[in-house]
């Protein structure tokens, strides 16, 4: 009779959950609101400018994709900087493209500013990552 030993390594689950504290939830909520505004306005924008409508969809997908990565084991501290830059790019693009001033734009840009601030705070307070994928 032979015995076999198993050399299985246990990987962390793909979805690891959200860190504790209120700031991550504020950041996620703000990102969801901004994504919703971009998706909501896409059908309106597509009537005037197809390229801009595509950019709206990509912005919404960027926020949703960021949330998915944030909840996964692939998230790293440095990604907070990318999240802040992505949200800041949305704000800058609005002004560069002379976006119209309306309630939806104000809500979207305000929530993106919240993402910038929350991601910056989380970057500053998070422990540096030393592990690799």
Question: For the chain, which residues score pLDDT lower than 50?
Answer: 132-133
CA–CA distance, 78 with 60 (Å, rounded to integer): 21
The pLDDT score that the predictor gives to residue 105 is: 95
Hey, what are 58's tokens? 């990509």
The pLDDT score that the predictor gives to residue 6 is: 53
The pLDDT score that the predictor gives to residue 39 is: 97
Contacts of 129 (CB under 8 A, 6+ apart): 76, 77, 78
Distances (CA, A) of 44 to 47, 79, 102, 103: 6, 32, 13, 14
The pLDDT score that the predictor gives to residue 125 is: 93
The pLDDT score that the predictor gives to residue 129 is: 64
């Amino acid at each position: 009779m032979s015995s076999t030993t198993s050399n299985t390594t246990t990987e962390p689950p793909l979805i690891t959950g959200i860190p504790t504290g209120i700031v991550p939830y504020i950041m996620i909520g703000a990102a969801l609101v901004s994504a919703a505004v971009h998706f909501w306005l896409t059908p309106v924008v597509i009537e005037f400018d197809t390229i801009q409508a595509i950019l709206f969809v990509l912005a919404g997908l960027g926020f949703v994709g960021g949330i998915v990565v944030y909840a996964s084991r692939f998230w790293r501290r440095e990604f907070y900087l990318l999240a802040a830059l992505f949200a800041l790019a949305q704000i800058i693009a609005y002004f560069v493209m002379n976006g119209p001033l309306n309630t939806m734009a104000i809500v979207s840009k305000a929530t993106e500013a919240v993402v910038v601030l929350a991601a910056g705070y989380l970057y500053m307070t998070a422990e540096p990552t030393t592990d690799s994928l």
